[in-house]
Structure formats: structure tokens, C-alpha cells
Amino acid sequence: MDSFGEALRAIERLKADGVVTDYALGGAMALVFWSEPIATFDIDVFVLLQSGGSLVSLAPVYEWARKNGYAEEAEHIVIAGIPVQIIPAPNAIAEEAITTAAELDYEEQRVRVIRPEFLIALYLEPSARSAKRLERVAALLEQGDVDRELLQSLLRRYNLKLPSYE
């Protein structure tokens, strides 16, 4: 298995070991499954953590990483030479994106990936909206298999707007 596959296996173990409740790949790596690949140096993994109040702690994730022999570099855990960033779901859109993630196959390895409609919604959030992310929105709309009805529902529910090219 390649390094990416090995990293996916470890991410799945993070859930199986009960460190996170659920997960889904996001960011540029998720785009690989829905559109043309985009250069990236890490894997963004959005996670749901055990609820323990309003304070979010990644301490259990880093403890799990150390126990399994994975190095830490800044905000990343390095698995099979690949930096993996664990991102607790910051809001309701991200939580829904994780719980409704597509279960796909990568070289016979199960992987949960944020669906393109949710990637678009996440990129359109005011705190995340940037020129780079708007380019990703355009690529997903042009090349991805986007459920337009679901996308419109997300845009309405979360009060988001597509750029004028749509």
C-alpha cells in the first residue's frame, strides 16, 4: 500500500479506536475524489470529537498519535511521511458535512470524503471565502458531480451565495 493508503488506514483507526466520533477528508485532498487534483502538502481531516463542553481539545488525538509512533510537526501528525491536520468541526455545516460524507474506496481502503456540495458550502463561508477557494468552487461546479438541489438547499439553509459565475 502507498503512503496515502497507509495514512487513510491510520485515520480510519483514529475512529475505530474511539478517539474521534467520525471523520471525513476535506480540503484539497477531498477534491481529488470529485474534480481535478490540486497540489497540496497535507491531508485535512475534519472530525467530530466526543462532546466534553464548549472547550475543544485535540489532546486525545495527539496522545493517540504518540502512542502509535506518529511524529508531530506544528499542527500536523505525520503519518507515512504525509502531514495530516486534524480539524474539529467548527460549525453546523462542517458537522453535517462529516455525518453525510461519502464512503469511497481508495485501493480497497475505505475512506470518508466530504461531498462536493458541502465542500462548496464550506468554501463559501465568509471566514473561508478566498480567491483560491472560489476557484475550487468553480472547478467543482464545472467538473464535479454536484447535486444542484442539495447545493441550493445548503446555500439557503446556511445563507450562502455562489459567486456571479453561476
How many other CB atoms sit within 10 Å of the CB of residue 34?
A: 22
139-159, pLDDT tens digit by residue? 899 886 899 999 999 999 999
Helix (H, G, I), strand (E, B) or coil at 124: helix
Distances (CA, A) of 152 to 24, 82, 117, 149, 158: 22, 35, 9, 5, 10
Percent of the chain with pLDDT over 70: 95
Domain chopping of the chain, boundaries: 3-114
pLDDT of residue 54: 66
Cα 136 from Cα 130, distance rounded (Å): 10
Please choose, from the candidates 128, 156, 127, 118, the residue with its C-alpha nearest in 3D space to the C-alpha of residue 34.
Answer: 118
Fold entry, domain 3-114: Beta Polymerase; domain 2 (3.30.460)
Q: Could you please report the per-residue DSSP string of 56-119? A: ---HHHHHHHHHTT-EEETTEEEETTEEEEEEE--SHHHHHHHHT-EEEEETTEEEEE--HHHH
pLDDT of residue 48: 94
75, pLDDT greater than 60: yes
pLDDT of residue 165: 55
127-147 average pLDDT score: 88
